Chains A and B, each alone.
Chain A
C-alpha cells in the first residue's frame, strides 16, 4: 500500500518545462533579426587632388548617360524613358558594342578589347555580330562608361532601382561569358579558388565602370 504511494511521487513534474522553454523560445524568435549584409556595392573614385586636372575628356560615344531630375523622370541617352527595366537591355547592348575595339592593353590584367571579344562564347559573338557594332556607340567594353547623374531632389528609391538595373546588366554579361546565369554569377563564392578563377575570368577586361556624377545644383 505505502509502496505504491511512494512510486507516484517519485518523479519531478516536468510537464511545465516545455512551457517555460516555449516562453524563452518565443522571446528570442521575436527579438531575433538574422543579420543581413547584403547590398549593392560601389567603389568610389579616389580623392580629388587640388592641382590635378579634373576633366578627362571622354569620347561622347563611350558614355552612357542616365540623368534623373527632381521629379524622378529619366533622361537616358538624351531621350526620356519611363520604364526603368529597359535600362538593363540598353546597357547590355551598350557595353558589348564592339564599335571600334582597340588592341590597347588596359587595366591591371592587360586585356584588350579584342582579347575580350575572342574570349566570349559563340552565342554572344553571334548576337554581337548580328545586332551590335554600331560606330555611334561604345568602342568596346574596356572604354564603356555608365554615367549616372541624379538631381539633388530626386529620390533614393529610383536611384537604387537604376543602380540595380545597371548591376543586372553587368552581371548578365559576366555570367554569360562564363556560361552562368546572372544569379549564379552573383552567388559565386570568392573564397573557393575554382569559383574565384571563374569570377576573375568573367570580369577581366570588362570593368564595371559606373560613375555617379556630381549633380548640378541649378535646374532640374
Chain B
C-alpha cells in the first residue's frame, strides 16, 4: 500500500516551472505593442465602420482630429472639434495645422495627413467646414478613420 502511494506521489503534479516564462513572454509582447493613449478623449467616438479601408504607411505624418458631441453634457450636444487635448473652433484649424506642420521636417510638411475621427451622430455641416479650413491650410490629404466592417457576402 505504502509502496504504491509513494510512487504515484512523485509524478502527481505538472511541472509549472516554465509557466512564468511563458507568461512573461506574453507580457513583453503586450508591453511592446501597447501605445498608451496620449490624448484624453473629450468627445463621443462611435466611428461608423467601412469596408474599403486603406492602411497608411507613414504613421509619423498622421495627425488626428476628433469630432463628436462632447462627453461633458454641460457643454451641450452640438458636435465639437478636439485637437490634441482641447476643443478648438472652426477658425482655429488653420493655426493648428500650421502648428502640427512645424513639428515635421521641411520636406514632409506637404505630406501631412489629417485623420478625422468622427462620431456617427455628427452632421455633415461641420465636416464640410473642416474640409474647407483644411484646404485653406493646404493640408489636402485627409483620411476618414474607420474600423473594418465584416463583409456580409
Size bracket of the B interface: 35 or more
Partner of A41, one of B26, B54, B128: B54
B146, A215: Cβ atoms closer than 8 Å: no
Q: Please name all residues of chain B whose beta carbon is closer than 8 Å to the beta carbon of A38 when the two chains form the complex.
A: 53-56, 145-148
Distance of A150 Cα from B57 Cα, bound (Å): 30
B127–A156 contact, CB under 8 A? yes
Cβ-defined contact, B17 with A14, below 8 A: yes
Query: At the interface, yes or no: B2 with Cβ under 8 Å from chain A?
Result: no
Q: Do A156 and B123 touch across chains, with their CB atoms under 8 A apart?
A: yes
B residues at A contact (CB < 8 Å): 16-17, 19-20, 23-24, 26-27, 30-31, 33-37, 48, 50-57, 59, 62, 113, 115, 118-125, 127-128, 131-132, 134-136, 138, 140-148
Given the complex, which residues of A lie within 8 Å of B30, measured CB to CB?
A: 25, 28-29, 32
Known: A40-B146, A41-B143, A154-B123. A168 touches B135 (CB 8 A): no
Is the beta-carbon distance between A171 and B27 smaller than 8 angstroms? no
Partner of B48, one of A45, A47, A156: A156
Q: Report Cα–Cα, A168/B54, bound state, in Å.
A: 11
Could you tell me if B124 and A150 are in contact, using CB atoms closer than 8 angstroms?
A: yes
> Contact between B142 and A44 (Cβ–Cβ < 8 Å)?
yes
Which one, A22, A35, A47, A155, contacts B123 given CB within 8 A?
Answer: A155
- Nearest A residue to B136 via CB reads A47
Question: CA of A70 to CA of B48 in the docked complex: distance in angstroms?
Answer: 18
A46 pairs with B135, CB closer than 8 A: yes
- Asked if A161 is at the interface (CB within 8 A of a chain B CB), the reply is yes
Bound-state CA distance A147–B62 (Å) is 27
Interchain CB contact under 8 A, B131 and A212: yes
How many Cβ-Cβ contacts under 8 Å join chain A to chain B?
A: 154
Chain B nearest CB from A67 CB (Å) reads 12
16 contacts between A and B (CB under 8 A): A21-B27, A28-B31, A32-B30, A35-B59, A37-B145, A41-B113, A42-B142, A44-B135, A47-B135, A150-B128, A152-B123, A152-B124, A156-B123, A157-B120, A164-B52, A186-B54
CB pair A151–B124 under 8 Å, yes or no, is: yes
Nearest CB of A to B68, in Å: 9
Do most interface residues of chain B lie in helix, strand or loop, or is the interface mixed? mixed
A32 to B28, CA, bound (A): 12
B128 touches A37 (CB 8 A): no
Question: CB of A15 within 8 A of chain B?
Answer: yes
Contact A28 B27 (CB under 8 A): yes
Given the interface pairs A25-B30, A41-B141, the reply to whether A168 lies near B57 with Cβ below 8 Å is: no
Known: A25-B26, A39-B115, A155-B122. 9 other contacts (CB 8 A): A33-B35, A40-B144, A45-B140, A68-B124, A156-B121, A157-B121, A160-B48, A164-B50, A171-B52
Known contacts: A18-B19, A24-B27. The answer to whether A160 contacts B146 by CB under 8 A is yes
Give the distance in Å from the alpha carbon of A150 to the alpha carbon of B118 in the complex.
16
Q: Residue of A at shortest CB range from B139?
A: A44
Contact B135 A39 (CB under 8 A): no
Q: How far, in whole Å, are A20 and B37 apart by their CA atoms in the complex?
A: 24
The 9 closest A-B pairs by CB, nearest first: A152-B125, A167-B52, A28-B30, A21-B23, A39-B145, A17-B20, A39-B143, A38-B53, A164-B50
Residues in B with CB closer than 8 Å to A9 are: none
Residues of B within 8 A of A155 (CB): 120-124
Instruction: Please name the residue on chain A nearest to B143 by beta carbon.
Output: A39
